[in-house]
Structure 1
């Protein structure tokens, strides 16, 4: 009996002491997917803002407060997307590290558009905060204009962020650093495949002019060379006034626009008002990917889903 107990004790000493994975909180589903890809086989992040909820105006629940209190790191787009998060992070997650993706060197950013109509896309360069590098002159004055926060819809940003996420997690959990790095590399290849699929799908709509309800797709347009003609609403909280609708109707007339991208929560009657008297096709698309299951595959599927919606509107 004594010999058996001793053997068990020795065996337990010999077992490796595996580190617990970091406790990670992410803001939106797209970021959750990127982090899930990096943590695949090691652990899973927590999602703070549930699918279908607006990241601009979300009210925390008691369970969300618990997630933040337990977090070792919070990975999010940045205050440009969800400025309300600063206060609860300061009060509930004081000890947690923060990774604001929009502020990372190399991240491609575009200035927010405020007008009802957009000029046709020219060949923009990529703006890289923190590096001062621009491939070409930009139409946007980044020094004086607010940054459009929907940067996850440029899949190149997803590729830029994966190794940054891996590095941040490795700092907290060096034992799994090799896993995080390998997962980030695999995730990059998956995004490349999603981009290739999306480019192929969009080949038939390169000359399509379309109106969006909410101006969330600038990064996607920029990456894939698309031609959005305008946005019906300035933001989630700002319904369009008569002057904006009138300007859009003139644009629809001038370009013979027949396609509108709508989102599940928005009022189709406003879209019909803009297109009154014109043929109209609509495609429902969600920049947050609310209908796509959470997990490592969600982000590449989100990119494909936006391309598929546009293709269906041709």
Structure 2
């Protein structure tokens, strides 16, 4: 199999491809970015539907076929979906693999420990990123060790390869024996090493600066596979980057007045968004893998919520909102949904921006007095 190196892509043949590259993606936000970059050329395939948790999913036959037919696989990486690594290797062994968690210059944070997050440190990752002009695609190397992404000038987006039409028939799971075990509550054990405190927090797409860098990496990969359309990919990426710069500025203005307000989240998935915009969770019901909290953890979170006078507890469409309601009940604490994957959105180029803006809107509404 061939991999795209994290700093510079492997040299590929410059011969024009007869067909548009077939691209498989993991989650809907990544699919959206690829869709932006491929706009006017083609569309990528989506492996994990927006309403499914990437921490535990069993592929349908059509999704496995799309993976096996791919020329390029774009995924966050094993930190988010370790169960997907084996299918990618076995089904898409001859494709190029772009692991976004390895793209140079992205901000990488580690999982937070404990119920309360008093000790987390973002270094100088809170710097202003208004200098990410979305039109420059050349500099992927001028970024700090684990977070200074001020120089993120190359960011592209992706389109869709939605070619399979049997996505609604899930009965074929038995055809993929090696993947069937990935669909249950036991999945926390399978990928627990990735969600342990101090390991990489896999929710990297919730930092729009990371997404901008990914646009550049995606454009470069597609351009080398499909030189005839390389300029279009680069132009699409530049437009996507410019849009993200504008979105980031709007959200920063929206959330800066709310910095210092205390809140809790169901699932510790928002560290990247919080760090980028300076709003920090006080506690999480569930760990980074989204596993169900124990009664003891629920009691600890309730204690934290009360002690810091939290104004909001956030729910998620993928998880049991009743647990969050139990925390908010009777305490004058508001509740609002957060959707990190676009579970209720239509997959496509617009989804990524809608996810990030949706988070900002929920934060603003729930944290306001």
Give me the TM-score of the superposition, normalised by structure 2.
0.74
What is the aligned partner in structure 1 of residue 103 from structure 2? 104
Give the Cα separation in 2 of the matches to 1:42 and 1:307: 31
What is the aligned partner in structure 1 of residue 314 from structure 2? 261
What is the aligned partner in structure 2 of residue 250 from structure 1? 303
What is the aligned partner in structure 2 of residue 141 from structure 1? none
TM superposition shift of 1:250: 2.4
Q: Describe the shift of the 1:304–1:68 C-alpha distance in structure 2 as closer, same or farther (beyond 3 A).
A: same
Alignment map for 1:173-184 (pairs within 5 Å): 173-184=226-237
The SS at the match of 2:54 is coil
Unpaired stretches in structure 1, ≥5 consecutive residues: 1-16, 137-143
Q: Describe the shift of the 1:126–1:199 C-alpha distance in structure 2 as closer, same or farther (beyond 3 A).
A: closer
CA contact (8 A) 1:121 1:222 kept: no
Alignment map for 1:228-239 (pairs within 5 Å): 228-235=281-288, 238-239=291-292
Large movers: runs of 4+ above 6 Å? 127-132
CA contact (8 A) 1:210 1:260 kept: yes
CA contact (8 A) 2:51 2:341 kept: yes
Q: Describe the shift of the 1:135–1:60 C-alpha distance in structure 2 as closer, same or farther (beyond 3 A).
A: closer
- 1:199 aligns to 2:198 (yes or no): no
What is the aligned partner in structure 2 of residue 125 from structure 1? 124
What is the aligned partner in structure 2 of residue 147 from structure 1? 200
Q: Describe the shift of the 1:267–1:135 C-alpha distance in structure 2 as closer, same or farther (beyond 3 A).
A: closer
Give the Cα separation in 1 of the matches to 2:303 and 2:271: 21
CA contact (8 A) 1:284 1:309 kept: yes
TM superposition shift of 1:202: 1.6
User: CA-to-partner distance for each residue in 1:263-314, whole Å, 9 max, x for gaps?
Assistant: 1232233223334541121111110012222221211121111000011112
Give the Cα separation in 1 of the matches to 2:142 and 2:79: 17
The SS at the match of 1:199 is helix
Greater share of helix residues, 1 or 2? 1
Q: Describe the shift of the 1:28–1:236 C-alpha distance in structure 2 as closer, same or farther (beyond 3 A).
A: same
Q: Describe the shift of the 1:265–1:123 C-alpha distance in structure 2 as closer, same or farther (beyond 3 A).
A: closer
Alignment map for 1:1-314 (pairs within 5 Å): 19-119=18-118, 124-126=123-125, 133=145, 145-235=198-288, 238-275=291-328, 277-313=330-366, 314=368
What is the aligned partner in structure 2 of residue 10 from structure 1? none
Give the Cα separation in 2 of the matches to 1:129 and 1:246: 45
Give the Cα separation in 1 of the matches to 2:96 and 2:246: 32
TM superposition shift of 1:145: 2.4
CA contact (8 A) 2:107 2:147 kept: no
Q: Describe the shift of the 1:34–1:135 C-alpha distance in structure 2 as closer, same or farther (beyond 3 A).
A: closer
Unpaired stretches in structure 2, ≥5 consecutive residues: 1-15, 127-139, 149-196
Give the Cα separation in 2 of the matches to 1:77 and 1:85: 10
CA contact (8 A) 2:256 2:278 kept: no
Give the Cα separation in 1 of the matches to 2:71 and 2:334: 46
Alpha-carbon RMSD across the aligned residues, in angstroms, is 2.4
The SS at the match of 1:87 is helix
Q: Describe the shift of the 1:185–1:205 C-alpha distance in structure 2 as closer, same or farther (beyond 3 A).
A: same
CA contact (8 A) 1:204 1:311 kept: no
User: CA-to-partner distance for each residue in 1:137-187, whole Å, 9 max, x for gaps?
Assistant: xxxxxxx92100000000000111111100111111111111111111110
Give the Cα separation in 2 of the matches to 1:83 and 1:122: 26
Point out which structure has higher relative CO (alpha carbons under 8 A, 6+ apart): 2
CA contact (8 A) 2:317 2:338 kept: yes
- Structure with max Cα Rg: 1
Give the Cα separation in 2 of the matches to 1:273 and 1:168: 47
Give the Cα separation in 2 of the matches to 1:28 and 1:188: 20
